Structure 1
């Protein structure tokens, strides 16, 4: 098998293990096989005393990772299969492994980094963005809910920036990723080869961290810092209906655009996403959040909006999903609560949190 046929490439470069996601035509979208290979590689690197750091990058020029293999998840869900549940189970466990990985895990978040791509990068200990980075959790646009620990990441962003990004699914550049706590350092894309060479030469974990800091530069100006006033004012409530009302009443032109974006999103996904972010802010660990997200994902696949959203946005690309129900008013509190309830007989909880009731 040549490298073109391998979905994940592993290369020892000096003291670093360089992992490359290798599906460039799909912007390195994650398959179940890739998740398993990543997990195996990290387990080996953790035990290998010769490895002082792990570096994650994506093949091609378009980005690190566009997320999970949405078409495969769509097809499995539409057919009533269970492969998607097993994919999420292994993916979320991988996210937890990345977060607790004991050596520098340097994620090169160059280009597009969305959904599952955030999960394999933004939980790392050293997260590098470039001027080309576009980081997003765009799930509400396809009738899904932010997962891979994304609700915890967004819940911890300053003020209501994370709520804004979770509901709209909007992508941010380097400066805003740093502001929101999704990244640690900005390194110009042209210097990434130099950075990876320096990491390969790093003899210790601290040398590796020092190398990254040495290449970091101020990023181009972002947008969100100047928008904090209207974002915090509009999103600091606990119903999507009130958020939309405040956005429409705001004098900020950008607020009106956000209201328009929300009007095109799945009403169920919006309400469950808001509840998930608020709940994630109260949970004590990433593991508890991932347990919660697994429950939500398990329930989302039972709703029609995920299949319909993927059809409209990705498969047919008509851009006109027919959400069910079609309005926020039709999504009541009982419907939302069902997504967070313990899974039923015959269903396995993810069970990452020490207390099995930690995510209730």
Structure 2
């Protein structure tokens, strides 16, 4: 829906402005040499790992592609997180980007387009491994802090939103834009979106609306807000916690966030919340009704959202609305199992390949959806996307 490990000598490059300085890290190392883990070689530089003062650090390092999540990245992150979780000494895990521009802009979906048998195998494996990682972050036994600085969309949300601590900055941009490419908000979107207040999740999931800066906290997606020029200080405090656990990590983040929030503006959607809550209600009969309500409302905001929705894949809109309805009653594990069935069925269809072609390949932004109207997508069509896969193909978590 998305590797030479870091050495001490390259830390100034890995930690740009707003991150930990080399001198700080050396002080931390000196105070805790007995628990220091030496970096080991890896296959590529897409992901780097470091280990300081009982803290495992995951650094997403594919800046030119905005850290688009690939299968190889997932296959490195998952076992390292499992290793830290069970080694008996690691107390905290932090995931962040080496670039201030993006935490993770989504999955590397261009790699999934081949309609050959190899392409099919890659799609099966990519989503299976990605969803396993999403489930791990949501059920991790160690405190897990995601620094969602910069662009965070799709697969980037899957790496962060299910964990207990999500730190946004003024440069954070959050969105789940999948309906624009013939997909649906996966990576556990069926779990976290329906649980946002004021039906914001339905609104975000259908429209792909982008939340920026402090709005990410106001919406309930981030748990904390820290200006980017204070990330260095916050990360230092986290790493220096004598005994890191949920409460001690929360205390550090709470103190840092509370002072920062006071100078931030209110939620930019505050005035629209009653409208969003009513027009995008998860209890609405169907997507067609949402369209009708937006038309009858007639406000500038409603008209703008209607115009956006009219560009999206009709199948994706109806599929997304149904997944959110079902997801509000499921735990994360069952949501991911459901989404894996959905995504495999989507990969057998037309709109995903057409949407990616239009938005990411040819960039003509003129997708030819099939069907191209909501009326052309029946309830039976949508139900088929939720069909259980064979026992050997289903996702096992």
Which TM-score band (shorter chain)?
over 0.9
SS in 2 for 1:159: helix
Q: What residue number does 1:326 align with?
A: 372
1:350 aligns with 2:391: no
Q: What residue number does 1:96 align with?
A: 135
Q: What residue number does 2:231 align with?
A: 192
Q: What residue number does 1:304 align with?
A: 350
310-319 vs 250-259, which deviates more?
250-259
- The verdict on how the C-alpha distance between 1:78 and 1:266 changes in structure 2, with shifts beyond 3 A counting, is farther
Structure with max Cα Rg: 2
Q: Distance in 2 between matches of 1:89 and 1:152?
A: 17
Q: Distance in 1 between matches of 2:55 and 2:249?
A: 9
Q: What residue number does 2:384 align with?
A: 338
1:138-157 equivalences in 2 (<5 Å):
138-157=177-196
Alpha-carbon displacement from aligned partner over 1:65-120 (angstroms, at most 9, x marks no partner): 01110101223579752211111111111111111111110000111000000000
1:116 aligns with 2:159: no
Q: Distance in 1 between matches of 2:5 and 2:293?
A: 52
- The verdict on how the C-alpha distance between 1:238 and 1:78 changes in structure 2, with shifts beyond 3 A counting, is farther
Q: Distance in 2 between matches of 1:111 and 1:268?
A: 30
Asked if structure 1 preserves the Cα contact closer than 8 Å seen for 2:5 and 2:49, the reply is no
Asked if structure 2 preserves the Cα contact closer than 8 Å seen for 1:78 and 1:307, the reply is no
1:277 aligns with 2:324: yes
Asked if structure 2 preserves the Cα contact closer than 8 Å seen for 1:131 and 1:220, the reply is no
1:242 to 289, 297, 301: 289
Asked if structure 2 preserves the Cα contact closer than 8 Å seen for 1:151 and 1:166, the reply is no
Q: Distance in 2 between matches of 1:66 and 1:175?
A: 19
SS in 2 for 1:311: helix
Asked if structure 1 preserves the Cα contact closer than 8 Å seen for 2:341 and 2:389, the reply is yes
Aligned length, in residue pairs: 350
Give 1:156 shift. Answer: 0.3
SS in 1 for 2:170: coil
Q: What residue number does 2:249 align with?
A: 208
Q: What residue number does 2:273 align with?
A: 228
TM-score of the aligned structures, taking structure 1 as reference length: 0.93
Alpha-carbon displacement from aligned partner over 1:296-342 (angstroms, at most 9, x marks no partner): 10111011100010010011100100101111100000000001111
- The verdict on how the C-alpha distance between 1:89 and 1:312 changes in structure 2, with shifts beyond 3 A counting, is same
- The verdict on how the C-alpha distance between 1:74 and 1:148 changes in structure 2, with shifts beyond 3 A counting, is same
299-308 vs 167-176, which deviates more?
167-176
- The verdict on how the C-alpha distance between 1:120 and 1:264 changes in structure 2, with shifts beyond 3 A counting, is same
Alpha-carbon displacement from aligned partner over 1:213-251 (angstroms, at most 9, x marks no partner): 221121433222221121122122121111011111114
Q: Which runs of 5+ in 2 are unaligned?
A: 7-43
Give 1:48 shift. Answer: 2.8
Q: Distance in 2 between matches of 1:77 and 1:19?
A: 33
How large is the RMSD of aligned CA atoms in angstroms? 1.7
Q: What residue number does 1:55 align with?
A: 94
TM-score of the aligned structures, taking structure 2 as reference length: 0.85
